[in-house]
Amino acid sequence: MKKALLSLIWLVAATSFAQNDFKILYGPYLQMVGENEATIMWVTSGKALSWVELAPDDGSNFYAESRPKYFQTLFGKRSLHRVHTVRITGLSKGTVYRYRVCSKEVLDEQPYFIKYGKVAATDVYGREPLQFTTLDSDKKNIRFSVVNDIHGDNELLKDLTCDIRDRKDDFIIFNGDMVSHMDSEQQIFEGFLNTSIRLYASEIPFYYSRGNHETRGVFSSEFIKYFPTPTELPYYAFKQGPVFFLVLDGGEDKPDDSFEYSETADFDRYRTVQAEWVKQVTASEIFKQSPFKIAVIHIPPVKSTWHGPLHAKKTLVPLLNDAGIDLMLSAHLHKYFYLDAGQEGCNFPILINSNTHVTHIDASEKEMNLEVKDRQGKVIETVIFQSGK
């Protein structure tokens, strides 16, 4: 009886400690970094009122003055959440900003009273504050890297992307299948996000191209919540320096009525609607005037007789041919291929990056240099493009 009582006391103490152990569980990581905006995302262990404090990169102490605070709001009201999405607008292009994220725990929420607990924040005194740089469409030289098909292998992701900071990449592209399916918040963070955050994603943004495996699992409908885009869809566009990026979503690979999808797939219609969006974007002046135009899509519309890529070839490729795409970056096959322009109905070259390779790209207005490396850092291939402009 005495032993049972002691166990009960221990259980109560442990539970009460867990409730008080409020902290930033995951993040922060950058999303939707554009010329004039950036979104900071993080997750806390409990519900919180959260904000981002922003400071210029002027060498001043972060505590030199009160820094402007940015909150997530909905219809005029500040949000109380666990998953924090703070979109900051009105920024200047090509500019470094320092930031701190803060979350004040919500202990009790009543209609006319909210009781707050302690504040969890990123460190600005034990280390340099976190920082990010906005995009700049006038930047002369840019560099970025691409990985894909990581399927939750953190060691592989680490090997391929551990030098992103040293390279001074502007950003990294995750070209799909970063996990094998989306089961839960914990699984996507432990599957690859925590590794990317630890290595760079708090300061160097990633742009995510959804793979077919991210459409699978009970948590797959949460994709856009954790990886928001300017279109609020998994397909979107952005420009950095001389390169315009068209990030596409090829959807699933099998026919929509395949039993494996349990009557939930509607990707033919999705790709058809997406094609209309591609038409609009490729008709824009900013697209047409870009020295280089890159399409990013997880499933290549070539080297396959499966329905998904065949349908993408029918709906998207003619538009990309007409638009004068310079390069397509693809994934999915877990094997490296480089197809010159003119193959399989595509008037543009296609680089299909292997799951165990990283592709580094340096681009100026005149030239684009590609370098494909394996996990050990050995160069597999280099390709040089000249701009047609």
Whether 328 and 297 have beta carbons less than 8 Å apart is answered as yes
Separation between Cα atoms, residue 61 and residue 138, nearest integer Å: 30
- Name the DSSP class of 283: T
Least separation in angstroms between CB 151 and Fe ion: 9
Q: Which is nearer to Fe ion, 100 or 298 (CB)?
A: 298
211 binds Fe ion, rule: CB under 5 A: yes
Separation between Cα atoms, residue 364 and residue 143, nearest integer Å: 9
Residues 320-339 that bind Fe ion (CB under 5 A): 332
What does DSSP say about strands 350-352 and 327-330: parallel, antiparallel, or unpaired? Answer: parallel
Separation between Cα atoms, residue 352 and residue 350, nearest integer Å: 6
Least separation in angstroms between CB 332 and Fe ion: 4
Least separation in angstroms between CB 208 and Fe ion: 14
Question: Of the ranges 164-172, 188-196, 207-215, 377-385, which one interacts with Fe ion (CB under 5 A)?
Answer: 207-215
Least separation in angstroms between CB 314 and Fe ion: 19
Q: Which is nearer to Fe ion, 239 or 298 (CB)?
A: 298
Question: Of the ranges 116-124, 130-138, 169-177, 342-350, which one interacts with Fe ion (CB under 5 A)?
Answer: 169-177
Q: What are phi and psi of 301, to 5 degrees?
A: -80, 25
Least separation in angstroms between CB 45 and Fe ion: 33
Q: Which is nearer to Fe ion, 28 or 251 (CB)?
A: 251
Question: Of the ranges 72-80, 209-217, 225-233, 242-250, which one interacts with Fe ion (CB under 5 A)?
Answer: 209-217
Q: Which is nearer to Fe ion, 177 or 268 (CB)?
A: 177
Contact letters for Fe ion, residues 273-312 (x by CB under 5 A): ----------------------------------------
256 binds Fe ion, rule: CB under 5 A: no
Least separation in angstroms between CB 382 and Fe ion: 26
- # chain residues binding Fe ion, by CB under 5 A: 4
Whether 212 and 265 have beta carbons less than 8 Å apart is answered as no
Angle 267-282/307-315 helices, nearest 10 degrees? 30
Q: Which residues contact 314 (CB under 8 A, 6 or more apart)?
A: none
Q: How many alpha carbons fall within 13 Å on the CB side of residue 199? A: 25
- Name the DSSP class of 68: P
Q: Which residues contact 3 (CB under 8 A, 6 or more apart)?
A: none
Q: How many residues belong to the chain? A: 389
Q: How many alpha carbons fall within 13 Å on the CB side of residue 317? A: 21
Question: Of the ranges 166-174, 188-196, 206-214, 218-226, which one interacts with Fe ion (CB under 5 A)?
Answer: 206-214
Residues 330-389 that bind Fe ion (CB under 5 A): 332
249 binds Fe ion, rule: CB under 5 A: no
The residue number with the shortest CB distance to Fe ion is 332
177 binds Fe ion, rule: CB under 5 A: yes
Whether 89 and 134 have beta carbons less than 8 Å apart is answered as no
Handedness of CA 308, 231, 289, 134 (dihedral sign): negative
Interacting residue with Fe ion among 212, 229, 290, 353 (CB under 5 A): 212
Q: Which is nearer to Fe ion, 177 or 326 (CB)?
A: 177
Q: Which is nearer to Fe ion, 39 or 180 (CB)?
A: 180
Name which of 171, 214, 220 is nearest 331 in CA terms: 214
Question: Of the ranges 47-55, 160-168, 204-212, 243-251, which one interacts with Fe ion (CB under 5 A)?
Answer: 204-212
Residue type, 236: Y
Q: Which is nearer to Fe ion, 211 or 217 (CB)?
A: 211
Q: Which is nearer to Fe ion, 309 or 349 (CB)?
A: 309
Separation between Cα atoms, residue 71 and residue 47, nearest integer Å: 14
203 binds Fe ion, rule: CB under 5 A: no
Separation between Cα atoms, residue 304 and residue 9, nearest integer Å: 62
Separation between Cα atoms, residue 137 and residue 291, nearest integer Å: 11
Q: Which is nearer to Fe ion, 129 or 308 (CB)?
A: 308
Q: Which is nearer to Fe ion, 195 or 215 (CB)?
A: 215
Paired with 115 in beta bridges are 108
Q: Which residues bind Fe ion (CB under 5 A)?
A: 177, 211-212, 332
